[in-house]
A and B are shown apart, each in its own frame.
Chain A
């Protein structure tokens, strides 16, 4: 049986369908869980990208306080795997599950393009299929992606060149227990060569390996 993945949908989330599709391609059985829902019992929880509540207050701020987010916190604190992509990363940060802040890009504009990235941590459930120091390409699409460092985060992904003004070119970080991964680039958009590059697939396959390796937590 394929592992079950929850795709959390807040009002204004817009990468939920892309994430669902990517999870299916990778071999998961995805299900949508809305903002009133509960993520208990899933093998993986993904917070997809988008503009939850229009990002009208701060990116991710309202979503972080929704009922489903409370269940994500419980899930994560019990060691469950949580992947936050783009707006999902912003939500995790607003929830305090990952350290730091995400502010407006230095360009002052939204940026959508493929960027080069370096893998800086492979000893975790999300990136085990990559080589330490390996270079990959993933798309970014955000206006608030400038990572501001607080403390000493577990950096898993760095931009090769500065794209948005992030401290130390940080693109993605892991929680202390490495069960929570937040990143601004979109792995779910990089699943098929038809659309460019398919490095994103290895993110989902790494998670699959980890779960299949008997590492079920919740």
Chain B
């Protein structure tokens, strides 16, 4: 079998790798687990200064609550089996948030495909609705560019008490690792490394499909939160790509310790599995937690109450090695740092050019409500601004603050210029966030790209675009994910950076849709300077009580008409001209003085009216 970093592995081990090690490292050093192509770029991005407990992904909302959020791709599995690929994508990101001790509170997606693939939407709908996490937003972009490589990016937001964040690292020798969730089968063996290959590759046909089990996920969520409530969990990591191996080696290595795992203890769904298959299986709906030997029994009792499989999988050891044992036989033993420090590709130099004259590359029109009405966006009774206007607004019960959340991307621009496509998408996400009266807190990014070995410059352009935009806007990047090798027959997707942006909102200051005159304010061209001006206009008009929308595509506003009618209003609006990239907003205002106070150098055009239906 081919393994790109074979020589590197041999060098680091100082010997020939065994067949089991080759299987293991193919997964662990894949882009999906190891971020070998993107890690050095990620280091360049601005970090959050107010992160809690040094945990990059945890940002404060008020004195009590913090939000955690992350986006993740599930592109390759969704290309092979749309329904289950999309469903398990949602499940995976929810567990990611859960492992930090947060209750999953909102979920979003960003979908790119060649035509409306009902399987993908249904996969998200069936899974998300069942687990009781509201799907509050997303984007659906239909274009030929994504015909063979659909992009399914799922984002989750969780809320957690600031002092109850669960670390994802081991803290002492003798700590035990308890596994619970669904039984382990051969699902998705090599899914992670498959996610790093051309779709026509050999693995595409051999991959065993992961099937989502939302009932199990729901039980897992409640079991985990119950264990947390009882103070039983000292550390946690969900099992995703790389399965047992990835989760347990990361926990140990993050605490500068080692681990031993006993693979024969793993509850199996298929009894004839090889030890290495158990080690790297990507069976869904599983979680690994660290606890003391005394507390392990109670953890397993809770797991069983919630109808989950469970076992003490192994323990943390002083020696900095990763040891996998099967029936008293050591099947793999390597220095733990070799697993968790994959070879890293260097940053490719990049200097941005001028903003190009973008051509208009239209996406096919889709009525958004046809999609989001299939998602339960209200369960949890915290959805203050529902999907349809841009970012959703969520409250946190008992707090005077809430958060806004949006996913946004510009593959149409990325196709023309990877740097500016990413840059503009990022600033547009900021514009959207400000428009609902929120102040940006942080970004989670999902890099969707073609082949970085073939074309390293485009990836570099995206990462520089993200870095520069975040620095311009003063917004940190708190988490992210990369999906590379989105190519079919050598043809790549457009560089598509998906931005997940969370902002902080004061509930008393929320402006809901209302009657008034409709204005378009701003310029038909994008520039950073215009953008800065528009942001200030948004802040002023919002505090004046105006309802603001910030679509990146102004040519189709039927979606807004539908959403206003849900609220009992009718939106009458003229056709609006807009360049592919612009610095414009749509404002609904019932007090002329607000508009009169806008600086006269800024273009303002009245384009319609919102009336009571």
B381 touches A14 (CB 8 A): no
B507 touches A112 (CB 8 A): no
- With a cutoff of 8 Å between Cβ atoms, the chain A residues found around residue B219 in the complex are 11-12
A55 touches B378 (CB 8 A): no
B125 at the interface (CB under 8 A from A): yes
B292 at the interface (CB under 8 A from A): no
- With a cutoff of 8 Å between Cβ atoms, the chain B residues found around residue A17 in the complex are 380
CB < 8 Å neighbour of A56 from B129, B132, B215, B374: B215
Task: Give the contact stretch, choosing among A153-161, A188-196, A208-216.
Answer: A188-196
- With a cutoff of 8 Å between Cβ atoms, the chain B residues found around residue A61 in the complex are none
CB < 8 Å neighbour of B378 from A11, A50, A139: A139
Q: A12-B130, A55-B130, A112-B376 are in contact. Are A18 and B381 (CB under 8 A)?
A: yes
Complex CA gap A11/B131 in Å reads: 11
Q: For residue A190, give the distance in angstroms from its CB to the closest CB of chain B.
A: 9
Q: A11-B219, A53-B215 are in contact. Are A110 and B566 (CB under 8 A)?
A: no
A114 touches B381 (CB 8 A): no
A177 at the interface (CB under 8 A from B): no
A14 touches B373 (CB 8 A): no
Complex CA gap A114/B377 in Å reads: 11
Nearest A residue to B103, CB-CB:
A17
Measured as residues with beta carbon below 8 angstroms from the partner, the interface class of chain A is 20 to 34
| CB-CB contacts below 8 Å: B104-140 with A | 122, 125-126, 129-132
B130 touches A54 (CB 8 A): yes
- With a cutoff of 8 Å between Cβ atoms, the chain B residues found around residue A93 in the complex are none
Nearest B residue to A191, CB-CB:
B381
Nearest B residue to A143, CB-CB:
B129
A92-113 contact mask (Cβ, 8 Å, vs B): 1 or 0: 0000000000000000011111
A195 touches B566 (CB 8 A): no
B379 touches A113 (CB 8 A): no
Complex CA gap A122/B289 in Å reads: 52
Q: A11-B306, A195-B383 are in contact. Are A189 and B378 (CB under 8 A)?
A: yes
B374 touches A194 (CB 8 A): no
- With a cutoff of 8 Å between Cβ atoms, the chain B residues found around residue A148 in the complex are none
B92 at the interface (CB under 8 A from A): no
Q: For residue B303, give the distance in angstroms from its CB to the closest CB of chain A.
A: 13
B306 touches A14 (CB 8 A): no
B381 touches A112 (CB 8 A): no
Q: A12-B215, A53-B215, A54-B215 are in contact. Are A110 and B129 (CB under 8 A)?
A: yes
A194 touches B384 (CB 8 A): yes
Complex CA gap A188/B382 in Å reads: 12
- With a cutoff of 8 Å between Cβ atoms, the chain B residues found around residue A141 in the complex are 129, 376, 378-379
- With a cutoff of 8 Å between Cβ atoms, the chain B residues found around residue A11 in the complex are 215, 218-219, 306-307
B218 touches A110 (CB 8 A): no
CB < 8 Å neighbour of A110 from B131, B306, B376: B376
Nearest B residue to A186, CB-CB:
B378
A68-99 contact mask (Cβ, 8 Å, vs B): 1 or 0: 00000000000000000000000000000000
Complex CA gap A11/B214 in Å reads: 12
A21 at the interface (CB under 8 A from B): yes
B218 touches A194 (CB 8 A): no
B125 touches A14 (CB 8 A): no
Q: A22-B381, A50-B132 are in contact. Are A112 and B215 (CB under 8 A)?
A: no
- With a cutoff of 8 Å between Cβ atoms, the chain A residues found around residue B218 in the complex are 11-12, 14, 51, 54
Q: For residue B301, give the distance in angstroms from its CB to the closest CB of chain A.
A: 14
Complex CA gap A215/B373 in Å reads: 40
A18 touches B376 (CB 8 A): no
B372-411 contact mask (Cβ, 8 Å, vs A): 1 or 0: 1111111111111010000000010100000000000000
A184-205 contact mask (Cβ, 8 Å, vs B): 1 or 0: 0010110100111000000000
A14 touches B379 (CB 8 A): yes
- With a cutoff of 8 Å between Cβ atoms, the chain B residues found around residue A196 in the complex are 386
A51 touches B381 (CB 8 A): no
Nearest A residue to B134, CB-CB:
A112
Complex CA gap A15/B386 in Å reads: 18
- With a cutoff of 8 Å between Cβ atoms, the chain B residues found around residue A186 in the complex are 378
Q: A14-B379, A54-B215, A139-B378 are in contact. List 17 more A-B contacts (CB 8 A).
A: A11-B215, A14-B130, A15-B132, A18-B379, A22-B381, A51-B214, A109-B122, A110-B374, A110-B375, A112-B375, A112-B378, A113-B373, A141-B129, A143-B129, A189-B379, A195-B381, A195-B382
10 closest A-B pairs by CB: A14-B132, A54-B215, A51-B130, A18-B381, A141-B376, A112-B376, A110-B374, A109-B374, A110-B125, A12-B215
State the B residues within 8 Å of A (CB). Answer: 122, 125-126, 129-132, 213-215, 218-219, 306-307, 372-384, 386, 395, 397, 507, 566
State the A residues within 8 Å of B (CB). Answer: 11-12, 14-15, 17-18, 21-22, 49-51, 53-56, 109-114, 139, 141, 143, 186, 188-189, 191, 194-196
